[in-house]
Amino acid sequence: MKKAFPLLALLTAALLGYALYQALVVAPREQTMGDVQRIFYYHVPSAWTAFLLFFINFLASVQFLVRPNEKLDRIAGWVAIAVGAICCVADFAIRDLPSGMHHGSIATTGLAVTALYFAIRKLFSEPGVDILALVTAEVGVVFCTVVLVTGPLWARPVWGIWWTWDIRLTSTLVLWLIYVSYLLLRRFSTSGETPVLAAALAVFGALDVPLVYFSIWFFRTQHPQPVIGGGGAIDPRMLRVLMINWLAFLCFAFLVCWSRYRLERVQRDVEETQALEALLEPRSAVQ
Amino acid sequence: MNYLYAAYAATWAIHITYLATLVRRHNRLKREIAELKPGLPR
């Protein structure tokens, strides 16, 4: 797996270059906004990647909290299965969804939650889920920063203003602040309970993710309506370029998370050895 | 066009800055491991 990293990094770099070419050259020019609309090919995939990373952070934090208690762990597993089942039932039962929200998407999302929960449980040990939560929060904040920077750069020429205290924009800023405080807590707290406190904060912080995502469905907002599943029509060539860029950013995020995960594991091993060395030092001095 | 290039440049500036912090952390860790090796109990 370690040997595959340089090859994957090379492939990702090529994919990112191809995606950039697609966004700048191949994608058609939008008629009303002109070339500035191409910011969309970086802004939207970055937002989706950040949401996905924060969601993984949520699942990893839940597992970190429930795993020490076997009963809670089992209940959480059943809740994950129930989420998938309820979403499938809701898909058939709910007739009137908000405009543009498709039935298949509810069942897919629910089943993805269940699958992701059990995949994390199978692949990561107890300290592993804590590291995964830290890593996904960190990389998620990086992607969320991109969203908050590219958004105003698009808004200035299109709306004539850099920022407005609209629900989509404000909830995204709140989301960013929540995860920055999560990282600050992990970085500067010296308490032994820090991972538990951080996991609890992450569980509450994740509640903001659906609020950000669905805000444009349920509230009147200045932010453009969703282009996929939101009733808005998008040129198939634009959609293709958007998906290529998302795939490229997903691969990039995966590689960054992987490197950061390995770095954190080694860091913890070193800290453990340093602590052991500090414990042994006085004894060897006495001898 | 300027806003478009500014947005793309800002995106990569953010990612490269983060990658640079990872490289710095990696180098510091390597130094710590090197310092640790002679002192390890046998």
Task: Give residue-wise pLDDT tens across range A99-120.
Answer: 666 677 788 888 988 999 999 9
* Inter-chain CB proximity A252 and B15 less than 8 Å: yes
Q: Collect the ranges in chain B with pLDDT lower than 50.
A: 42
In a domain, A226, yes or no: no
A225 in contact with chain B, both atoms CB, cutoff 8 A? no
Q: What is residue A163's three-state secondary structure?
A: coil
Q: Does position A286 have pLDDT exceeding 60, yes or no?
A: no
Alpha-carbon dihedral sign for residues A79, A183, B25, B42: negative
Q: CA angle at residue A13 from A153 to A18, to 5 degrees?
A: 70
Instruction: Name the interface residues of B facing A (CB cutoff 8 Å).
Output: 1, 3-4, 6-8, 10-11, 14-15, 18-19, 22, 25-26, 29, 32-33, 36, 39-41
What pLDDT was estimated at residue A101? 66
Q: Count CB-CB contacts under 10 A for residue A279.
A: 9
DSSP code at position A68: T
Is there a domain that residue A34 lies in?
Answer: no
- How many CB atoms within 10 Å of residue A104? 9
Contacts of A153 in chain B (CB under 8 A): 3, 6-7, 10
The answer on pLDDT for A190 being more than 90 is no
Structural domain total, chain A? 1
From B9's Cα to the closest Cα of chain A, the distance in A is 10
Q: What is the structure's pLDDT at B17? A: 97
Residue A193 DSSP label: T
Q: What is the rounded distance in angstroms from the CA atom of residue A189 to the CA atom of residue A183?
A: 10
Name the more confident of A83 and B20: B20
pLDDT above 80 for A187: yes
Binned at pLDDT 50, 70 and 90, residue A252 comes out as: very high
Flag whether A69 is in a domain. Answer: yes
Q: Evaluate if residue A124 carries a pLDDT over 60.
A: yes
Cβ within 8 Å, pair B29-A142: no
Structural domain range at position A52: 4-29+40-220+232-286
Residues contacting A203, CB < 8 A, separation 6+ = A58, A61, A62, A65
Q: Does residue A52 register a pLDDT over 90?
A: yes
Amino acid at A3: K
Question: Does residue A225 belong to any structural domain of this protein?
Answer: no
In the predicted model, what is the mean pLDDT of residues A76-103? 82
The residues pairing with A30 across neighbouring beta strands, listed in sequence order, are A34
- Residue A214 contacts by C-beta under 8 Å, 6 or more apart in sequence? none
The pLDDT score that the predictor gives to residue A212 is 79
Residue A222 tokens, joined: 């200045």
Band (A276; pLDDT cuts 50, 70, 90) = confident
State the pTM of this model: 0.89
CA angle, residues A179, A185, A190, in degrees to nearest 5 = 160
A216-220 contacts, C-beta under 8 A, 24 or more apart? A216/A168, A217/A98, A217/A100, A217/A101, A218/A98, A219/A167
Confidence of residue A254 (pLDDT cuts 50, 70, 90): very high
Residue labelled with tokens 């129930």:
A82
Greater model confidence, A282 or A144 = A144
- Please give the average per-residue pLDDT across A203-226, as a whole number: 76
